[in-house]
Structure 1
Amino acid sequence: MEIKISNQALKWFKEDIGLKKGDKLRFYTQVYGNSPIQKGYSLAFTQEEPLKIAASTDLDGILFFVEDGDVWYFDGHDLHVDYDAKEDELRYEYVKSLHGASPLGFTGYL
């Protein structure tokens, strides 16, 4: 599993959330909402220290990660995070890790 954060999303995390070098941000599963890959569940994020990282990416010294316990949610997809300026919100895309499948888009409401 890969995590990709666009430059626009990184800027949003820095400006709106106040993330800075040395911070850690976890993407995790929450038990309400819907996504294109899991009904009844959605993706959220929080700042916390990692325990058992399954996937991560480091941008400008900020660690973005998913824990082992949340990998089931992604169901074989990579996570791409972008920022939609028109809607002023993050956009999560779940891209099948194998065979180059088309992304499944989901706009995350904050």
Structure 2
Amino acid sequence: MQIKLEKEAFDWYKEELDLHTGDSLRFHVRYGGCSNIQKGFSLGIEKEKPESPIAKVEIDGITFYVEEKEAWYFEGHDLVISYDSKLDEPVFNYE
């Protein structure tokens, strides 16, 4: 599994969450919402340090990651985070 984070999405997270070098942002599974890979579940975000990441990407000293215990959600897919300018927010896609 890989995390692919487009520059526009990175810029949005950095500004909206006031992220700085050394910070970490976790993509975690939450009950509710919808996704096209796991019905009844969706992704949330939380600013916290990684413990056992299964996938991570670091940009400008900021780490974005998914914990190993939540690998089941992705079923072998990569997480691709893009930015929707009409909604002015990041969008999760799966490859």
TM tier relative to shorter chain: over 0.9
Taking structure 1 as the reference length, what is the TM-score of the superposition? 0.84
Which consecutive segments of 4 or more residues in structure 1 shift more than 4 A? none
SS for the counterpart of 1:22 is coil
* 1:66 and 2:33 matched: no
Q: Deviations over 1:12-44 (max 9, x none)?
A: 011111111110000000011110000000001
**Structure 1: 5+ residue runs without aligned partners?**
96-110
After TM superposition, the structure 1 stretch with the greater mean CA deviation from structure 2, 84-93 or 37-46, is 84-93
Indicate conservation of the 8 Å contact 2:9/2:89, yes or no.
Answer: no
Letter in 1 for 2:78: D
Q: How many residues align?
A: 95
Taking structure 2 as the reference length, what is the TM-score of the superposition? 0.97
Q: What is the root-mean-square deviation in Å for CA atoms of aligned residues? A: 0.6
Amino-acid identity (%): 45
Letter in 2 for 1:71: A
**Structure 2: 5+ residue runs without aligned partners?**
none
Letter in 1 for 2:31: V
With a CA cutoff of 8 Å and minimum separation of 6, indicate the structure with the bigger relative contact order.
2
